[in-house]
Amino acid sequence: MTRSTHALLIGATVSMPLFIVLWALQAFTREGFRPTFHPLSLLSLGEGGWVQILNFVVTGLLVIGGGIGLARVLAAGRLTRWAGILIALMGVGLVVAGVFVADGGAGFPVGAPAGAPVMSWHGAVHEVGFVLTQLAFVALAIVLAFRFGRSTQRGWMTASIVSVVSALLVAALGDPDTLAIRLVVSSAIELGLVSALALAAVRDRVR
């Protein structure tokens, strides 16, 4: 493994904990922000919003690097190439969500409408980034399940299936008032799969 590939994989390994820690630091300190109610994207707005913007962009770039690194170290094949591309697309979606901020709503930041926001062009592009990340993850989990199933790596095949099913169920099921925090948990699961794969690759425990 080259030094550049090792660096890319280390970056991907820290992507999930970095994203969640920076969210938590903001979610529990920003005035007026309710972690269980306000979508994490709203943290990109108002004073201090640059932290969440940076969180989206840096995490996205680390994930893109992880896709490149994993494509280099996993056994060559069409499914490996697709896995690398889909991981990179997850990262692209995060970068887009960071560069194009969401619209204020649900009373955050202070002064924003109490209800749903009026969608702006940049808010619409932000949503496209979110959807891209979600679709890429679902496709990634399916590709990985097939890939690891073919190579008889049953543990990783199971992890891929469990990750996509649990992420979707957490996001879809529950009280609407807890959707925001459930999406954070779902994001942790999605990024966690990428981080776990990258760490295993660094330790030469996946092929």
Task: Tell me the two tokens of residue 130.
Answer: 């979110």
* String of DSSP letters for the chain: --HHHHHHHHHHHHHHHHHHHHHHHHHTTSTT--TTTS-GGGGGSSTTHHHHHHHHHHHHHHHHHHHHHHHHHSPPSHHHHHHHHHHHHHHHHHHHHHHSPPPPBTTBSTTS-SSPPPP-HHHHHHHHHHHHHHHHHHHHHHHHHHHHHHTT-HHHHHHHHHHHHHHHHHHHSS-GGGHHHHHHHHHHHHHHHHHHHHHHHHTT---
> Looking only at Cα atoms, what is the longest distance across the chain?
55
Prediction pTM value: 0.93
Task: Tell me the two tokens of residue 135.
Answer: 């679709």
Looking at residue 27, its amino acid is: A
3-state DSSP of 95-137: HHHHHCCCCCECCECCCCCCCCCCCCHHHHHHHHHHHHHHHHH
Residues 6+ away with beta carbon under 8 Å from 111: 104
- Determine the pLDDT at residue 107: 80
Between CA 138 and CA 170 the distance in angstroms is 14
What burial class does residue 67 get, using C-beta atoms within 10 Å of its C-beta: 0-12 exposed, 13-18 middle, 19+ buried? buried
- Determine the pLDDT at residue 119: 86
Please list the pLDDT of the chain residue by residue as tens digits (207 residues): 899 999 999 999 999 999 999 999 999 999 889 999 999 999 999 889 999 999 999 999 999 999 999 999 998 888 999 999 999 999 999 999 999 999 988 888 887 777 777 789 999 999 999 999 999 999 999 999 999 998 888 999 999 999 999 999 999 988 888 999 999 999 999 999 999 999 999 998 888
